Every structure is written in C-alpha cells, then in structure tokens.
Amino acid sequence: MAVFVGYEAADSPALDVKLVTKLTALRIFADDAGKMNRSVVDCGNNILLIPNFTLAADTSGGNRPSFTGALAPDLARPRFEALASQFRPTLDNVQSGRFGADMKVNVLNDGPISLILRFA
C-alpha cells in the first residue's frame, strides 16, 4: 500500500496515531469473494510511506499553488520519520521515502479505489 503523507500546519501529532490505526484497519483489499473486506494486516501486505508536502497545496487563489498551509519542514521531518516506527508493531514490512528528497516514485494503482484520509 502506497501512502502519500502531507502534513498541514494545523495537524497535531495525535493525528499520526489516528492515521496508523485507520490505515492498518481499513478494509480495502478483496477477500476470496472479491469484496473489499480485508485490511493490509489481514493480507500480510506492506506499507510504503511517501512524504509529499504538495498535498497541502492551496489552489483556490490564482494559478500558482500556495504551500503556506504545509507544516514547516523542521516540524514535519521528525513526524514523518517517526511515522514508520508506529506501523512496525503491526506490519512486518514498512518502508519510507526520504523526507525532502527529489524522489522518482512509480506507483501502480492495482484496484478500484484511491482514498484521501483527512482527520478533524
């Protein structure tokens, strides 16, 4: 499961716990009957965490996105780097990209859905 992670300035560290809980329990993988009934844990799958501050882009005013709503890098980096360790008690294979790196990421969407998870 590829997970793009973007922190906004208002996001509290408590949201990371909610994210881990939700992602490990979310039933988005097919069971034997083809129904989305299995979690990443049930399937024995892995998670790839990809840092992506551009998810916090505000495109409402003009033609140039604003990233002022993104969490400052010095605050977002340690949160992102700690996120992988929060998945490890539940999942055997947790990988993550490098925060701030210019990464080339190829993702194959193998399934009927892509989700945006937002927590209030």
Which residues on neighbouring strands pair with residue 36, listed in sequence order? 30
Residue-wise pLDDT for 74-88, tens only, equals 999 999 999 999 999
Residue-wise pLDDT for 18-36, tens only, equals 999 999 999 999 999 999 9
List strand residue ranges (DSSP E) for the chain, in order: 2-5, 29-30, 36-38, 47-51, 94-96
Query: d(Cα 56, Cα 117) in Å, to the nearest integer?
Result: 13
So where are the chain's domains?
A: 2-59+66-96
Query: d(Cα 29, Cα 34) in Å, to the nearest integer?
Result: 9
Domain 2-59+66-96 has CATH 3.50.80.10: yes
* pLDDT band for position 120 (cuts 50, 70, 90): low
* pLDDT band for position 52 (cuts 50, 70, 90): very high
Q: Over 70: is that where the pLDDT of 58 sits?
A: yes
To 10 degrees, the CA torsion angle through 78, 109, 32, 91?
Answer: -20
- For helices 14-25 and 73-87, angle between their N-to-C axes, nearest 10 degrees: 40
Q: Which residue has the tokens 């008690």?
A: 89
